[in-house]
Structure 1
Amino acid sequence: MAYTRKDVSTLTRAERRRFVRALLELKRRGEYDEFVRMHVEYYVADGERGLRTAHMAPSFLPWHRKFLLELEKALRRIDDAVSVPYWDWTRDRTPSSAPWTEDLLGGNGRPSDRQVMNGPFAYAQGNWTLKVGVTDVKFLTRDLGRARDPIRLPTKAELEWAIKEPVYDASPWDSRVTKGFRNRLEGWGTGRGSASWHNHNRVHRWVGGVMVGGASVNDPVFWLHHAFVDLVWSRWQRRHREHRYLPAKQPGPGDPQRGRIVARHEKLPPWDVTPDDLEDHASIYRYG
């Protein structure tokens, strides 16, 4: 039977408590840090060599769908009543709204070093030491809204700008593409500063701290953010039923993206699944 991913703002106190406990237990076992390592490994920029699967590529959405499913499997081995809630950042838009409560993810970082001081994931609690990252910082950091250079969360209108785009993705299949739903949602834009970050990317920067960069999984809000991104993909699929994941096949010989992206029926590293396999999640989970 399919389970439900709920809006984080609707979770009961008991549901919040169980979700937090499962995350902390996964961290205690050392399994959580493996998810951080995986995301760091597969965060390959389009300026680098090799295959891109997690970001700046058509497979951004199915890769993170599978990543979420793997995390959920691990959590449900600890507590089979737990699923990942989603954070609708077009509605819950302030540092005092869900999910930034003391009984869930805790709040903003302090001004001096952006260390999160309250909630179950605060370093002082002793249960959430960062062991995998791009710096040596051991504590969770956040800069909600970016105090020195303010940035706002994406609006419903900005999200609609992505969802209304009927084509899934387009050449050159990377961060430079200006057409297609995938990059309008992933959010690589042109120009400089906050105006160049759209939707998914801007949320990472609004949260700040460790959420900026490949080790963003160190902040548990990563999962709530990507659950909402996954929900948005589901909405796009329902609206544009005649459109599918692209590319259907590898770009032609001589194309610089040939062999650097995953086509619809090709395996999506590091798993033995294809984007085609991941397009329909109805038998596994639904959104409430």
Structure 2
Amino acid sequence: MAYVRKNAGALTATERKRFVDAVLEVKRRGEYDEFVRTHVAYFAADGETQLRTAHMAPSFLPWHRRFLLDMEDALRRVDSSVTLPYWDWTRDRTATSVPWTKDLLGGNGRRSDQQVTTGPFAYSTGNWAIKVGVTDGRYLTRDLGRAASPIQLPTNDDVSWALNDPVYDVQPWDSTVTQGFRNKLEGWGTGSGSASWHNHNRVHRWVGGAMLGAASVNDPVFWLHHAYLDMQWERWQRAHSSHRYLPAAPPGTGDAQHGRVVARHDKLPPWSDTPDQLEDMSGVYRYE
């Protein structure tokens, strides 16, 4: 039977506690830092000549879907009642709304050094030291809303702009494309600065701190953010049922993207799953 992923704002106090306790236990066991290492390892950009799987490529959505399933499995080994909640940032849009409460993810970082000092993931609790990162910082950081240069979270219209595109992705299958659901949701736009950040990317920028780099998994909000994106992929699939993941076949030898993107039936490193196998999760989980 499929289990349910709930809106973080709909969790009961008991469900919040069980989720937080499970995340902390996964961290205590050393498994959480392995998730951070995996995300860092597969954070390849357009300019690199290697295979891109996690970002700036069609497999952005199935890669993170599989990544979330691994984390959810780890949580459910601790507590079988726990599933990943999602953060609907089109509705919960302030630095004091869900999920930034003391009994869930804690609040914003302090102004002096962006260190999170409230909630279960504050460094002072002794339960959440950063061990894998792109800097030497040991504590979780956030800069909700970007105090120095404020930005707003994406709106429902921004999400609809992506959902209304019936084509999953288009050539050249990277961050430069201006059409296709995948990149409109991932959020690489034209121009420079905040105007070029859409949906997924803009949320990472809005949270700031640890969420800005390859080690963004260090902030547990990563999972709630990507669960919401995964839900949008499911919504897109229902709305455009005759359209599927693209490319259907690998780019040919004369194509600049040859060997650099994952096609529908290619294995998705570091797993053996293919995007085709990850398109339908209705037998595993559902959203409410």
Bin of the TM-score, shorter chain as denominator length: over 0.9
> Partner of 2:225 in structure 1?
225
What is the Cα deviation at residue 83 of structure 1? 0.3
Unpaired segments of 5 or more residues in structure 2?
Answer: none
How far apart, in 2, do the equivalents of 1:209 and 1:143 lie? 6
> Partner of 1:186 in structure 2?
186
How far apart, in 2, do the equivalents of 1:209 and 1:121 lie? 14
Instruction: Give runs of aligned pairs for residues 155-194 of structure 1, distance below 5 A.
Output: 155-194=155-194
> Partner of 1:246 in structure 2?
246
> Partner of 1:117 in structure 2?
117
What is the Cα deviation at residue 253 of structure 1? 2.2
- Which amino acid counterpart does residue 267 of structure 1 have in structure 2? K
> Partner of 1:277 in structure 2?
277
SS of alignment partner, residue 4 of structure 2: strand
The percent identity for this pair of structures is 71
> Partner of 1:12 in structure 2?
12
How far apart, in 2, do the equivalents of 1:277 and 1:198 lie? 28
The Cα offsets for residues 59-82 of structure 1, whole Å up to 9 and x where unpaired, read as 000000000000000000000000
How far apart, in 2, do the equivalents of 1:224 and 1:182 lie? 19
Instruction: Give runs of aligned pairs for residues 187-202 of structure 1, distance below 5 A.
Output: 187-202=187-202
SS of alignment partner, residue 32 of structure 1: helix
How far apart, in 2, do the equivalents of 1:230 and 1:240 lie? 15
What is the Cα deviation at residue 251 of structure 1? 1.2
What is the Cα deviation at residue 49 of structure 1? 1.9
Instruction: Give runs of aligned pairs for residues 60-209 of structure 1, distance below 5 A.
Output: 60-209=60-209
How far apart, in 1, do the equivalents of 2:151 and 2:47 lie? 26
How far apart, in 2, do the equivalents of 1:271 and 1:252 lie? 23
What is the Cα-based RMSD across aligned positions, in Å?
Answer: 0.4
> Partner of 2:23 in structure 1?
23
How far apart, in 2, do the equivalents of 1:32 and 1:253 lie? 38
Kindly indicate whether residue 215 of structure 2 is the aligned counterpart of residue 215 of structure 1.
Answer: yes
How far apart, in 2, do the equivalents of 1:253 and 1:95 lie? 48
Q: Which runs of 4+ in 1 moved over 2 A?
A: none
What is the Cα deviation at residue 252 of structure 1? 2.0
What is the Cα deviation at residue 194 of structure 1? 0.5
What is the Cα deviation at residue 107 of structure 1? 0.2
The Cα offsets for residues 171-210 of structure 1, whole Å up to 9 and x where unpaired, read as 0100101110000000001111100000000000000000
- Which amino acid counterpart does residue 139 of structure 2 have in structure 1? F
How far apart, in 2, do the equivalents of 1:5 and 1:165 lie? 25
What is the Cα deviation at residue 284 of structure 1? 0.3
What is the Cα deviation at residue 254 of structure 1? 1.1
- Which amino acid counterpart does residue 84 of structure 2 have in structure 1? V
How far apart, in 2, do the equivalents of 1:179 and 1:158 lie? 14
How far apart, in 1, do the equivalents of 2:217 and 2:253 lie? 36
> Partner of 1:2 in structure 2?
2
Number of corresponding residues: 288
- Which amino acid counterpart does residue 71 of structure 2 have in structure 1? L
Kindly indicate whether residue 250 of structure 2 is the aligned counterpart of residue 264 of structure 1.
Answer: no
